[in-house]
Chain A
């Protein structure tokens, strides 16, 4: 409250005392040459300021009155014109009202050639005391290199190299049921061909990178899964991590042929950079920037017909950090 009062008092004093400033001291000689005033230019600047204010007020009016047709366009036009008039006024002030002068200067010649030479000699002779110059140079180089390395080290935060275990930890364990977006368990006989389903582990955090799955049903005869994945696809139903191995977008596209004899084979496609994976061949990359196959989840159907996980993924989930790529390549 007292702060507000102080503000008001100081504002009042400033306003009232403005006109009573002492007259400027007349200096003996001018630095800037005196040029005649230009009332016309001043008038024009004032008019431009007026136009800018009008446009700005117009913006407020257009904003307030919602029934104006093409409101967005008028908003942009009024604010844009306000800025344009303001800029024009400033340009006019710079050209016509502020006194300007163009100055040019050459670079000065070296003032003291003799002293400069002496300085060079000085520097050279100052080093005479050092006997093991090369060793010192080496030591200095080592320090520089070490500091450089220290500065680059934070780049490792771009992706884990040594600590890749979290990419193998997912909520999927043998027997975990697959549920849909609404939490209903997915049944094997509900999974149709030529379409795709998103599934999550029952009772786990869906936001976790290892949770979401994309599930499709293919003809069992068309499946050519890598060795060691026998029985991972009951009735031709396969499940893969929904997270693209390139940049961790969600695999949201499923390309399926209407007439397989002449059309492209079924593929899971990432909408971000068009990485294309083959669900019939263990998620092999068919196209795009992804560096490794989509991790596959083994499935099983127990009595009751519900789909359950048969274990964990075939590989690390999520984007291919350096460490992940190296390990999966070895």
Chain B
């Protein structure tokens, strides 16, 4: 009885905290039911994963990785990019409009985050340096994503362009390593360096094309092709205008 009174006193003393706790509890409950509807068939009860296809028990028929340890960061990235939910576990997740509303995503992130794991990172691109970002991006990312972040191919997967990636999503992807991408822990890319990389990717969304024509930003090969085709056609045209066939 005394304990109850103490608790009640605490609740009275900290009304704001209590309200926040209550709304968190609602969020968590919403997330839990959304998870049961949309995620559980592949990711298993409580995010334990389904390593092999199973049928029957608890209506689990998919196959999917563990979510314990991915944290709010993993859930936030995969849900807000529309990578999840996935039609088939065999597909490569691609960016699309999420079927969930913002509030539903908040709820799912709160629920999956409760399994434990890293929090959503908060990059500060304004603290980074563009030139450093270009160097780091060239070193770590451009091999797959191309130097102006246009995306490309690696054996077995398409590499997504980064035009729509938000600052938070870039930071999340670097730490997570979605799909076939390796992850880069802080020992490889520090938070400070990550700020610079995010700043560069933000710049690469709207590069100032000094030449006027970006040509898809995929390097000197298309530029050369266009130059030769246009210049070649123009030269042949001029030749036909100023030249003359020998009259037979």
The answer to whether A and B interact is yes
- Interface size for chain B: under 10, 10 to 19, 20 to 34, or 35 or more residues? 20 to 34
B180 sits at the interface (CB 8 A): yes
B89 sits at the interface (CB 8 A): yes
Contacts of B181 in A (CB 8 A): 256
Q: How far is the CA of A309 from the CA of B248 in the complex (A)?
A: 80
Nearest opposing residue in chain A for B144, CB measure: A253
Between A and B, 6 residue pairs with Cβ closer than 8 Å are A95-B242, A194-B183, A195-B184, A255-B182, A258-B180, A288-B155
Q: How far is the CA of A262 from the CA of B65 in the complex (A)?
A: 10
| Chain A interface (Cβ < 8 Å from any Cβ of B) | 70, 72-73, 87, 91, 94-95, 102, 104, 190, 192, 194-197, 252-259, 261-264, 267, 269, 271, 274, 276, 286-288
Contacts of B178 in A (CB 8 A): 258
Contacts of B210 in A (CB 8 A): 72
Q: How far is the CA of A254 from the CA of B184 in the complex (A)?
A: 11
Q: Are A195 and B180 in contact, with the CB atoms below 8 A?
A: no
Q: How far is the CA of A263 from the CA of B178 in the complex (A)?
A: 12
Q: Are B157 and A261 in contact, with the CB atoms below 8 A?
A: no
Q: Are B177 and A255 in contact, with the CB atoms below 8 A?
A: no
Q: A261-B52, A262-B90, A264-B156 are in contact. Are A72 and B180 (CB under 8 A)?
A: no
Q: How far is the CA of A147 from the CA of B64 in the complex (A)?
A: 69
Q: Are B188 and A197 in contact, with the CB atoms below 8 A?
A: yes
Q: Are A255 and B180 in contact, with the CB atoms below 8 A?
A: yes
Q: Are B177 and A256 in contact, with the CB atoms below 8 A?
A: yes
Closest Cβ–Cβ distance, residue A106 to chain B (whole Å):
13
Contacts of A288 in B (CB 8 A): 155
Q: How far is the CA of A321 from the CA of B210 in the complex (A)?
A: 42
Q: Are B155 and A259 in contact, with the CB atoms below 8 A?
A: no
Residue in A72, A194, A258, A263 whose CB lies within 8 Å of B211: A72
Q: Are B177 and A253 in contact, with the CB atoms below 8 A?
A: no
B216 sits at the interface (CB 8 A): no
Closest Cβ–Cβ distance, residue A46 to chain B (whole Å):
20
B240 sits at the interface (CB 8 A): no
The interface centre, meaning the residue of B156, B178, B183, B210 with most chain A CB atoms within 10 A of its CB, is B156
Q: Are B212 and A72 in contact, with the CB atoms below 8 A?
A: yes
Nearest opposing residue in chain B for A91, CB measure: B242
Closest Cβ–Cβ distance, residue A104 to chain B (whole Å):
8
Within 8 A of A (CB), among B200-246: 210-212, 238, 242, 246
Contacts of B25 in A (CB 8 A): none
Nearest opposing residue in chain B for A87, CB measure: B238
Closest Cβ–Cβ distance, residue A268 to chain B (whole Å):
10
Q: How far is the CA of A87 from the CA of B89 in the complex (A)?
A: 63
Q: A91-B242, A197-B188, A253-B143 are in contact. Are A267 and B63 (CB under 8 A)?
A: no
B185 sits at the interface (CB 8 A): yes
Q: A72-B210, A258-B178 are in contact. Are A274 and B155 (CB under 8 A)?
A: yes
Closest Cβ–Cβ distance, residue B75 to chain A (whole Å):
14
Complex A-B, nearest 9 residue pairs according to Cβ-Cβ distance, in ascending order:
A264-B156, A259-B65, A271-B143, A252-B143, A254-B182, A276-B155, A255-B180, A195-B182, A253-B143
Q: Are B155 and A269 in contact, with the CB atoms below 8 A?
A: yes
- Interface bits B98-117 vs A (CB < 8 Å: 1, else 0): 00000000000000000000
Contacts of B63 in A (CB 8 A): 261-262
Contacts of A261 in B (CB 8 A): 51-52, 63, 65, 89
Contacts of B242 in A (CB 8 A): 91, 94-95
- Interface bits B147-158 vs A (CB < 8 Å: 1, else 0): 000000111110
- Interface bits B169-185 vs A (CB < 8 Å: 1, else 0): 00000000111111111
Q: Are A73 and B212 in contact, with the CB atoms below 8 A?
A: yes
B87 sits at the interface (CB 8 A): no
B190 sits at the interface (CB 8 A): no
Q: How far is the CA of A262 from the CA of B212 in the complex (A)?
A: 44
Contacts of B182 in A (CB 8 A): 194-196, 254-256
The interface centre, meaning the residue of A94, A102, A195 with most chain B CB atoms within 10 A of its CB, is A195
Q: Are B90 and A255 in contact, with the CB atoms below 8 A?
A: no
